[in-house]
Chains A and B, each alone.
Chain A
Amino acid sequence: MAIYIASFGFGLVTASVLAISAIGFTMQFGITDVLNLSFGGVMITSAYIAYVVNSAGINIWIGLVAAGFAGAIISYLINRFVLTPFKRRNTSLVGMVIVTLALGLILENLVLAVAGPDNVSYTLNNGPTLSIGAFELTALQVGMIVLSLVLAGAIHALLTLTRLGKAMRATACNPGLARASGIRTERVISTTWLVTGALCGISGATFAINSASFGPTSADLFLVVIIAAVFVGGVGQPYGAMLGAVLLGIVTEVSAAIITPDYKEVIAFIILLVVMAVRPQGLIARARA
């Protein structure tokens, strides 16, 4: 029994990593209409930026901030110099996915070329362990959960309380109408890439903290879980992504304790298939007028 309680703890940590990335992924898709498969590549590139910072003897939380900046800048540049030009040419939806797929491949292999194929890990201070019975988490893990909650709260505040958030929701709902109402959708989309890129970068670093070690292609499998969480929650829905992340994070970690950790992604995939069969629009569906 103890192992299941412990795995529930791991599940909470994984869920918090997953939530940050899934919110980023789903907002990117919802607002910009690009299914960005280079997300994993940006994550791992940012994780390596945090590694460079961390290797210089700087605390990982500062590294996390660096990863957030890196993710934001890379995502902004990808949108500005690759995706927007292709979109202006009316590239098909599938064409855009191929473009992001190629970008992800380029990013991952740039990391591979620069950093080499060996796995690396951060120098971490796990802090004191907090335990309630068999349920135990390190201070670092608690920090990651808190970070995820804070970021989710910040995104909620951004979307509901600010003019920018309102503009983002309008753009996601109907870009043509948003533009006709005087919203500068191009600027909203650029800002979205900055915000979601920052989430992507931060999630890359937290993913790397949560893995014992990581390499240039480590995020490939995690991207499958992110996509599963996004689609389970309802694609384009930030709150759905949070729900999907919590569900998949906990279920995959508990299943790892029951079966073996080798099939985490397979479990995520099966949950995705079941949800798609029962409720194809996802748990939280977009209300359409």
Chain B
Amino acid sequence: MSSGTIFYITTLIVYGGVDVVACLGLSLQFGTAGITNFGFIIYQAAGAYTAAVLSMPRDTANGGFQSYVLGLHLPFPIPWIGAAVAGGLLAVPAGLVVRRSLRPDFAGVSMLVTAVVLNTVVDNFVPLFNGAAGIALVPSPLSNVFNPQSLKWQWMYSGIAIFVCVLVFLGLRLITESPYGRSLRAMREDETAAKAIGKNTDGLRITILVVGGAIAGLSGGILVGFINLWAPSAWTYPETIVLIAALIVGGRGNNFGAILGALLVPLGFLEATRFIPPFGPPGLVPALEWIVTGTLILVFLWFRPQGVVPERRRRLSKRLPAAAGPSAPGSGVVGVSRGQ
């Protein structure tokens, strides 16, 4: 393989890893817990900005051509940890607001409006993250191990991206395949019923918003370390729609669907268009991409709302083969609901 091909493949792996991590986070919120977060992309943005300003030197460096806060020049992996923390912290106010909201569509739209407004603020308030121009020259993590321009670094970074994907996947399995995950699905299906059996749905919701926000923040940290720049145009509100499209196509409520969706929509579909020779006036191909993304959502919601990988139906009888019969001892209501 030529070095160009390797470079392309490793870049695809990193992008795919970022998309998979982000989709897993959104899937936890939207698919498993039924929280509509139309502003999901701001958590990725928060992570990316935090990782950037934690790893960069003071803004007086490089002749001070850009201005940003902090600039602590911290070594890897602290910026990534900071990214996850920032994403999680940003979700706290959202969690406090959403709990008061009654209708799920209002909650979703309030997140969308917040995302648009935050983008405007960062776009115009230059001292924070250099405004609309964005921040550039974000250091690549572990540049002391390999030269960031080298193929070895590319392989290393894609390896780290895959490692983070696996880690997030396993971590989320602990949540979704546990009684806690069952509480989340109960909240999604019928919040009143979940409350009636004693689930603290406000607590569940804010926890899931924070955990999903932290995962999104981490994905932003991985991305910014790779592309070395970040700007408001990278996280406009339609970027969330792409992730939602990925979940709708892949399948909501299960992690395999989220991974498949991330590989099919943001990565597969948008990468495939790279090989179409550019035609028409500038901006035509991206516009057509958005049109296809929107159409993909409508088509899937109409013809296959459960996605390519549907959520597995969970049956109690499979989990409790011995206690299936009504005469089995200890299979009363309490026994069944607690039995594992």
Q: Which of A230-289 contact B (CB under 8 A)?
A: 260, 262-263, 265-266, 269, 272, 280
The SS class assigned to the B binding surface is helix
B241 A102 Cβ-Cβ under 8 A: yes
Question: Which candidate, B63-71, B109-117, B148-156, B201-209, is the interface stretch facing chain A?
Answer: B109-117
A212 contacts partner chain B, Cβ-Cβ < 8 Å: no
The SS class assigned to the A binding surface is helix
A265 B297 Cβ-Cβ under 8 A: no
B121 A35 Cβ-Cβ under 8 A: no
A91 contacts partner chain B, Cβ-Cβ < 8 Å: yes
B284 A103 Cβ-Cβ under 8 A: no
Mask: chain B, 98-120; 1 = CB below 8 Å from A; 0 = not? 00100111101100111011001
Contact of A91 among B100, B120, B284, B301 (CB under 8 A): B301
Q: Which of B277-299 contact A (CB under 8 A)?
A: 280-284, 287-288, 290-291, 293-295, 297-298
Minimum distance in angstroms from B66 CB to a CB of chain A: 19
Assembled-state Cα–Cα distance A38/B38 (Å): 14
Contacts of B287 in A (CB 8 A): 109-110, 112-113
B238 contacts partner chain A, Cβ-Cβ < 8 Å: yes
A266 B121 Cβ-Cβ under 8 A: yes
A266 B117 Cβ-Cβ under 8 A: yes
A116 B281 Cβ-Cβ under 8 A: yes
A269 B117 Cβ-Cβ under 8 A: yes
Assembled-state Cα–Cα distance A262/B244 (Å): 29
B124 contacts partner chain A, Cβ-Cβ < 8 Å: yes
Contacts of A120 in B (CB 8 A): none
Q: Report the tally of A-B residue pairs with Cβ distances under 8 A.
A: 103
A6 contacts partner chain B, Cβ-Cβ < 8 Å: no
Mask: chain B, 218-242; 1 = CB below 8 Å from A; 0 = not? 0000000000000000000110010
Question: Which candidate, A16-24, A64-72, A93-101, A188-196, is the interface stretch facing chain B?
Answer: A93-101
B120 A106 Cβ-Cβ under 8 A: no
| Sample of 16 more A-B contacts, CB < 8 Å, known A99-B297, A109-B290, A117-B283 | A93-B103, A95-B301, A99-B301, A102-B241, A102-B293, A102-B295, A105-B293, A106-B290, A106-B291, A109-B287, A224-B116, A227-B109, A227-B113, A228-B113, A263-B124, A272-B113
If the complex has contacts A37-B109, A94-B36, are A112 and B283 also in contact, measured as CB distance less than 8 A? yes
Assembled-state Cα–Cα distance A86/B303 (Å): 11
Contact of A105 among B114, B294, B301 (CB under 8 A): B294
Q: How many chain B residues touch the partner (CB < 8 A)?
A: 40
Contacts of A136 in B (CB 8 A): none
A220 B36 Cβ-Cβ under 8 A: no
Contacts of B282 in A (CB 8 A): 117
Contact of B105 among A93, A106, A108, A272 (CB under 8 A): A93
Contacts of A85 in B (CB 8 A): 302
A224 B288 Cβ-Cβ under 8 A: no
When C-beta atoms are compared, the residue in chain B nearest to A111 turns out to be B287
A58 contacts partner chain B, Cβ-Cβ < 8 Å: no
Assembled-state Cα–Cα distance A116/B288 (Å): 12
Q: Which of B255-294 contact A (CB under 8 A)?
A: 280-284, 287-288, 290-291, 293-294
When C-beta atoms are compared, the residue in chain B nearest to A235 turns out to be B106
When C-beta atoms are compared, the residue in chain B nearest to A117 turns out to be B283
B294 A106 Cβ-Cβ under 8 A: yes
Assembled-state Cα–Cα distance A93/B241 (Å): 16
If the complex has contacts A94-B104, A113-B287, are A105 and B298 also in contact, measured as CB distance less than 8 A? no
Minimum distance in angstroms from B205 CB to a CB of chain A: 14
Minimum distance in angstroms from B209 CB to a CB of chain A: 16
Contacts of B291 in A (CB 8 A): 105-106, 109-110, 113
A97 B108 Cβ-Cβ under 8 A: yes
Contacts of B104 in A (CB 8 A): 92-94
A96 B105 Cβ-Cβ under 8 A: yes
If the complex has contacts A99-B297, A106-B291, are A220 and B237 also in contact, measured as CB distance less than 8 A? yes
Contacts of A101 in B (CB 8 A): 38, 112, 241, 297
When C-beta atoms are compared, the residue in chain B nearest to A217 turns out to be B236
Assembled-state Cα–Cα distance A92/B108 (Å): 13
Q: Which 5 A-B pairs have the closest CB atoms?
A: A106-B294, A262-B124, A102-B294, A112-B287, A117-B283
Minimum distance in angstroms from B288 CB to a CB of chain A: 6
B109 A98 Cβ-Cβ under 8 A: no
